[in-house]
Structure 1
């Protein structure tokens, strides 16, 4: 019963942020950030579909900085939100590209990190067939160009 109550509370907390847009307040690593909704609710977010290196690993700080440039202070749209056991959520994070003001939230931050070799595709996350194809393609292209994580043999 206690487990059900905890899961229900987590789902309600996640729903407050996930139902609309939220503003990124902190970037913790290349695949983790915090987001605040208009009503002030804060939520930890793990980018769905990617696994970025941690700060103490090669390219960890570069991955965090890249995600920070893409998202910090921006309004984002969370898609395919799934609650995690630690109270955070796993979601695709979409932002407006810096080079296209007024275009709307058309850039998938996780896919952008894959394209520059600062993350690996996390195949265990739930994704549509189209997303799987896109994420796999971005990782393969980064490997072929030998950039970022794929620089070393």
Structure 2
């Protein structure tokens, strides 16, 4: 059994590695933001691609539109080569993208159109490109510091804001007390007149549990009709 497992592992590991480092060629037919595009293979298969190891400003962030324009200038309508690193939870291919000899991911960082996405970083040379762009105040690095929020922090802040708005608009509906709970609130220590009742619930309790029939003058089972009608 151990030998079978070892053999299976020898077969599976290279297969997984090749699947992650798959190379694909396609033509870019859409650019959605600074790090996401759609391309079409020769077999007419449409692929959604997320540029790996980088993160660009969201569309609503400062420089978001400029980052999208930068990527579009590099790849839109052109043939590209993808080195696939992964498939994300949205089904997008996460890849390094090359247009001719241009490393598009690196070019987005170099032009100041993207941050290095440190959480998923594999190629540490991208950090040098980011440092150079920052020192030269290229692209987003020319913005005031207050406007240069990394997109992963911006997305978290946006999620927190929407959550707070949802919680702020929620209304609280108090639970309806059942008869057991009513017994904890009302008692039969005194038989009250209707004008002394605090609510219809108390009147019903007095009638049903205390035998206070005086508050049901017409004997229809509804006490203190001014309260309970």
TM-score of the superposed pair, with normalisation by structure 2: 0.52
Per the alignment, residue 12 of structure 1 pairs with: none
Cα distance in structure 2, aligned partners of 1:126 and 1:22: 24
Partner-residue secondary structure (3-state), 1:85? coil
> Is 1:139 aligned to residue 138 of structure 2?
no
Cα distance in structure 2, aligned partners of 1:19 and 1:78: 5
Cα distance in structure 2, aligned partners of 1:91 and 1:62: 21
> Is 1:43 aligned to residue 47 of structure 2?
yes
Per the alignment, residue 106 of structure 1 pairs with: 101
Q: How far apart are residue 126 of structure 1 and its match?
A: 4.8
Partner-residue secondary structure (3-state), 1:20? strand
Relative to its length, the structure with more strand (as a share) is 1
Cα distance in structure 1, aligned partners of 2:95 and 2:24: 13
Stretches of structure 1 lacking an aligned partner (at least 5 in a row):
1-14, 96-104
The partner residue of 1:148 within 115, 139, 143 is 139
TM-score of the superposed pair, with normalisation by structure 1: 0.76
Cα distance in structure 2, aligned partners of 1:72 and 1:23: 8
Relative to its length, the structure with more helix (as a share) is 2
Per the alignment, residue 61 of structure 1 pairs with: 65
Q: How many residues align?
A: 124
- Whichever of the two has the greater Rg, that structure is 2
More relative contact order, 1 or 2 (CA 8 Å, 6+ apart) = 1
